[in-house]
Amino acid sequence: MPSNSTLGIVCTSAGFGGLEMYTLQIALALQQKGWTVFMLLNTQSRLYEQAKHHFPVKTLQDFESKKNSASLIKKWNRDGTIPLFFTTFNKDIQALAGYKRWFHKGAKLVYQQHMKVGVRKKDIIHRLRYKMLDKWITPLAYLRAETLRYTSVPDSKICIVPLGIDIEKLARKPYSKQAARNVLSLPEDALLIGVLGRVDPKKGQDFLIKAIAALRSEGDYHLLIMGNVTEHEGDEWMQEIKRLVASLGVAQWVHFRPYQESVQLFYNAIDVFAMPSHGETYGLVTLEAMYFKKPVIGVDTDGTHALLENGKHGWLYPLEDLAVFKAQLFQVINNTALTQQKVQAAYEQVLQQYRFESTVELLDAALKQVIFKK
């Protein structure tokens, strides 16, 4: 690779969820592809604590709130050795665009989308900001369409690169269902519904708790909630849903476990994966469940709808519609032929389209196109 294949990755989020873990994963993979990687991170973040062992890292506390954030990037790149900047955190676009506009017009900027645009952003401020981007990378077609509808980013600058999962890593530690449940201290014979991810009001854990309460007369249904609260944001929601469990009298059937790096335990323990999020932009955990051949029941919107291909690879229900959720759950349980058909198709789709190795190849090609184009 030519010597100017130097990449500055900016992610000043203080959290450590899917976006931040992916950012570290892709940084390591691009380094393996021959890129010289530098990182600019939040000094309070776990991402910094992990990344500093692999890359030259600079830190900026409260970066996004600083009016002179563009000049801080200038200070970081004062010798001009970084020609290409990459971010996965939408709040960092503002600083990078300001840096390019005022200090380094020849810099190349690439944004990889992890969050929906959500609302119209065609005002003068956003038009000037997005004009500085050389490439907008999005993981799904519906997000590309939304970007074209709500922003001034031209279609010529947008490319689709699905976010893939590391199948090799997921396959390393297989567990039997019994072994996984023993490790997690879960009932061996219950039908276990699982939800994995950040504990947050928009993630819908409260809906599943209410569903378990409604299912008590239908059989031995249990719920596994695995995940942590967002760092630096308190645990109010965790306490609220635990109070909901107590008020509904379902403490015996709802199990809370902290997030574990060995997610195989979670997937091998559950029977059904639920995605009750109010609006999941993408959903790497949905892909993981598909890979582990777990039936997926999710809210019929956004990334969940797209990944499940309108129900081809899973079961969908309207947001917080308990009746339809129960009907889909009963179909999963009782129509074994259909369930096996969908689960197998979902598994094959992951192998064909959502491998992390493919993500790296496509992203590497997109970055090279930006930095080396005439």
Kindly provide the residue ranges of all beta strands, DSSP E only, lying in 30-134, ordered along the sequence: 36-41, 57-59, 84-87, 108-112
Burial class (CB in 10 A: 0-12, 13-18, 19+), 35: buried
More confident site: 74 or 268: 268
Do 119 and 172 have their domain in common?
no
Distance, CA of 16 to CA of 198 (rounded, Å): 10
Do 171 and 319 have their domain in common?
yes
Rounded to an integer, the average pLDDT of 305-322 is 97
pLDDT tens per residue, range 48-61 = 999 999 999 987 65
Rounded to an integer, the average pLDDT of 321-350 is 98
Tell me how many helices (H) and strands (E) the chain has.
16, 13
Token reading at 318: 């309207």
Distance, CA of 349 to CA of 227 (rounded, Å): 26
Q: Is residue 175 included in any domain, yes or no?
A: yes
The pLDDT of residue 68 is above 80: no
CATH code, 364: 3.40.50.2000
Rounded to an integer, the average pLDDT of 177-205 is 96
Do 214 and 260 have their domain in common?
yes
pLDDT tens per residue, range 241-282 = 999 999 999 999 999 999 988 899 999 999 999 999 999 999
What's the confidence (pLDDT) of residue 158?
98
Please identify which residue in the block is written with the tokens 């010529």. 156
CA angle 89, 117, 304 (to 5 degrees): 90
The pLDDT of residue 191 is above 60: yes
Q: Dihedral sign, CA of 47, 48, 54, 57?
A: positive
Q: Is residue 149 included in any domain, yes or no?
A: yes
Do 273 and 301 have their domain in common?
yes
Do 68 and 186 have their domain in common?
no
Q: Is residue 230 included in any domain, yes or no?
A: yes
What's the confidence (pLDDT) of residue 61?
56
Do 77 and 113 have their domain in common?
yes
Do 233 and 362 have their domain in common?
no
Q: Under a CB-based contact definition with an 8 Å cutoff, are residues 50 and 24 in contact?
A: yes
- How many domains in the chain? 2
The pLDDT of residue 62 is above 70: no
Mean pLDDT of the chain: 93
Do 148 and 188 have their domain in common?
no
What's the confidence (pLDDT) of residue 64?
47
Do 205 and 153 have their domain in common?
no
Distance, CA of 112 to CA of 37 (rounded, Å): 16
Q: Under a CB-based contact definition with an 8 Å cutoff, are residues 51 and 24 in contact?
A: yes
| Range with the largest mean pLDDT of 7-21, 55-69, 278-292 | 278-292
Q: Of 47-61, 173-187, 338-352, which gets the smallest average pLDDT?
A: 47-61
Q: Is residue 223 included in any domain, yes or no?
A: yes
Query: If DSSP codes are grouped into helix, strand and coil, which group holds residue 166?
Result: coil
- Helix, strand, coil percent content, the chain, rounded in steps of 5: 45, 15, 35
What's the confidence (pLDDT) of residue 88?
97
Banded pLDDT at 66 (limits 50, 70, 90):
low
Do 192 and 310 have their domain in common?
yes
- Calculate the alpha carbon distances from 130 to 63, 91, 102, 188 in Å: 20, 12, 15, 53
Q: Is residue 106 included in any domain, yes or no?
A: yes
Do 325 and 361 have their domain in common?
no
- Residues of the chain with pLDDT > 70, as a percent, come to 95
Q: Is residue 340 included in any domain, yes or no?
A: yes
Distance, CA of 306 to CA of 290 (rounded, Å): 13
Distance, CA of 280 to CA of 19 (rounded, Å): 13
Distance, CA of 256 to CA of 222 (rounded, Å): 11
Do 22 and 135 have their domain in common?
yes
Nearest to 63 by CA among 104, 23, 108, 99: 99
Nearest to 208 by CA among 217, 227, 220, 221: 221
Q: Is residue 1 included in any domain, yes or no?
A: no
DSSP code of 14? S
Q: Is residue 53 included in any domain, yes or no?
A: yes
Identify the domain containing residue 261 by its residue range: 167-353
Q: Dihedral sign, CA of 78, 137, 149, 89?
A: negative
